[in-house]
Amino acid sequence: MIPLRYEGDIYRPPSEAGSLILQATIGCSHNRCTFCGMYKKKKFRIRSLEEIEQEIKYVSRFMPRTRRVFLADGNALVIPSEKLLQILQALDGAFPNLERVSVYGNPQDLLEKTSEELVELKNHKLGIIYLGLETGSAAVLRDIKKDVTPEEIIKGAAKAKKAGVPLSITVLNGLAGLEGSENHARETARVLNQIDPEYLGLLSLIPVPGTTTYRHFKQGKLTSLNPWQLLEEIKMMVEGLELTECVFRANHASNYMPMKAILSRDRETLLKELNQVLIRKAPGSLKSEFLRGL
């Protein structure tokens, strides 16, 4: 029996802070996004089922009351459905109180899965997929080498919706620079409306040294948004949103202004708050750069 082991830095969504983190894959299968430096030092691979099952058996001795599990690394949804199903079954058998298992997923991963496979995974407690949209702009998606179109993202997300697997979508504000800010906001709202996710989280870009996006800002190919311009971009996006019961959060460390809402209920209140902050531009009303450290 082997202990629980991790390779390299481990990243998880903020909402998985209390979850057991099980590293089912190493790195990210795509690992080409120009803004991301998280997995550059890792060579992607899917861990063996035997190794994963041994770790599950080991950790169940010490954490038998585990209710939630997050499968790392960058996009564990890439695991072939048959093997992913075996992992879910092993988790369910080891933890009697298990409520849900969650994963990061790339849009390509959803496109590769059939609706029937996603239903089967949901029936074995795949409870949420964290999907990085980043932007709804076709031009920006090309620039950041996401290697997927807005229409393909919508198509993949529709499979998850049809299967009943909740989606938590991430958008990266400031990604298009000042030059593409309005297009980024408007097109992202358009794509989000077609996806209609259960959860939406906003992050604000902090260029990572060593990445292509960082170099583009340093070289002047893109112009960074100041805090007020970032809030204007968020306001433009929210103005265009028409979602049903989406839980909206902008409480990541990178954001200058924490926000939360149920958009079907609170959208106008949120827009009013944004307008007031943008009109007043009061010193000290936004998070300092020091506190935005990731």
pLDDT digits (tens, 9 = 90+) for 245-260: 999 999 888 999 999 9
List, in sequence order, every beta strand (DSSP E) within the chain: 20-23, 25-26, 45-46, 68-72, 100-105, 126-134, 167-173, 199-204, 247-249, 260-262
Decide which of 57 and 284 is more confident: 57
Percent of the chain surpassing pLDDT 70:
99
What number of residues does the chain have? 294
Q: Which residue has the tokens 């902008």?
A: 250
User: What's the pLDDT at 1?
Assistant: 60
Residue 2's pLDDT band (cuts 50, 70, 90): low
Distance between CA 239 and CA 187 in Å, rounded? Answer: 12
- The mean pLDDT value for 157-166 works out to 97
Is residue 158 predicted with pLDDT exceeding 60? yes
Q: How many Cβ atoms sit within 10 Å of the Cβ of residue 169?
A: 24
Is residue 207 predicted with pLDDT exceeding 60? yes
pLDDT digits (tens, 9 = 90+) for 35-85: 999 999 999 999 999 999 999 999 999 999 999 999 999 999 999 999 999
Is residue 18 predicted with pLDDT exceeding 90? yes
Residue 293's pLDDT band (cuts 50, 70, 90): low
User: What's the pLDDT at 4?
Assistant: 86
User: What's the pLDDT at 58?
Assistant: 95
Nearest residue to 202 via CA among 157, 234, 166: 234
Residue 287's pLDDT band (cuts 50, 70, 90): confident
Q: How many Cβ atoms sit within 10 Å of the Cβ of residue 259?
A: 17
- The mean pLDDT value for 203-232 works out to 96
User: What's the pLDDT at 3?
Assistant: 77
Mean pLDDT of the residues in the chain: 95
- The mean pLDDT value for 163-190 works out to 98
pTM of the model: 0.95
Distance between CA 119 and CA 287 in Å, rounded? Answer: 42
| Beta-bridge partners for 225 | none
pLDDT digits (tens, 9 = 90+) for 104-152: 999 999 999 999 999 999 999 999 999 999 999 999 999 999 999 999 9
CATH number of 14-281: 3.20.20.70
User: What's the pLDDT at 221?
Assistant: 96
